Amino acid sequence: MQAAEVVIVTGVSGAGKSQAIKCLEDIGFFCIDNLPTTLIPTFVRLYTQTEHTTARVALVIDVREREFLTPLSDILKTLRTEGHTAKILFLDASNEVLARRFSESRRPHPLAAGRSALVGIEIERRMLARLREEADLIIDTSALTIHDLKRFLVQAFVVKRSAAKIGISLVSFGYKYGLPFDADLVFDTRFLPSPHFIDDLRPLTGRDPQIGEFLIRASVTKPYLERLTTLLDFVTPLCEEEGRAYLTIALGCTGGHHRSVFFAEQLAGHFREGGYPVNVRHRDIDRS
């Protein structure tokens, strides 16, 4: 019997589980939608006893199986005891985005029971809170296209598989648009001088060299960046030792155009130099 790599795909309704499972299938996973959780160990045993081109399995679980929360932790322990790797991939999105997706699709939320989608979303969040805490990788799809999602999954399950180190995801964002749902660590850059108030710099972003030159001139920028990299160099290996597949680091400023973008790019360069697989996403850079 060969050891399998099992990924449980779950998350809130409307966050993109169906799209995620298609992406995982494209990168080599054998995928099953809504297999009852009690059958997971039996299925994995049978699957690995027969000859297949891949030992990578992705299984979708959602709120249609309402009793899955309690036994799932025990099921994952069983799989790991039998020599398989088992991880939870949790898809999330903001309430506003989820409600809009349900409205655009003209489909009711599965837990709304005739009420608004937001009511169903809140009920579902309470049901999934414990599972979200146990997830190995959380992806906030609020601002992602299907291509962005596939890049994330490739980074997590293809690049990371061949790499010796934990995958690093860096997200810049604007506080006025809310915190990223998938952030493990959040750092504030709003105390730095803002290029927004300089007419020539306002249309630019933190990826432009003029913004970097402006920020570096501030006395606090270099010390903050140095202390931040020192902290992350300490924390990242600890997360890796814990067996985590991914670490999502969010950098925030007011609008998500200048300071947070600059810091995300600086940290991306630092981690790449350290040999880490890195993904960078500037969530709010195109918002006005």
DSSP, collapsed to helix, strand or coil, labels residue 138 as: strand
Contact 231, 169 (CB under 8 A): no
Among 46-55, 102-111, 242-251, 260-269, whose mean pLDDT is lowest?
46-55
Q: How confident is the model at residue 267 (pLDDT cuts 50, 70, 90)?
A: very high
Among 8-17, 112-121, 167-176, 204-213, whose mean pLDDT is lowest?
112-121
> 76-123: per-residue pLDDT in tens?
889 999 999 899 999 999 999 999 998 888 888 888 888 888 999 999
Nearest to 31 by CA among 65, 2, 5: 5
> 78-87: per-residue pLDDT in tens?
999 999 989 9
Using CA atoms, how far apart are residues 194 and 253, in angstroms rounded to an integer?
9
DSSP structural state of residue 244: -
pTM for the full predicted model: 0.67
Contact 194, 217 (CB under 8 A): no
Domain span(s) for CATH 3.40.50.300 in the chain:
5-162
Which residue reads 């860096």 in tokens? 170
Nearest to 36 by CA among 76, 68, 70, 4: 68
Using CA atoms, how far apart are residues 2 and 55, in angstroms rounded to an integer?
7
5-162 has CATH 3.40.50.300 classification = yes
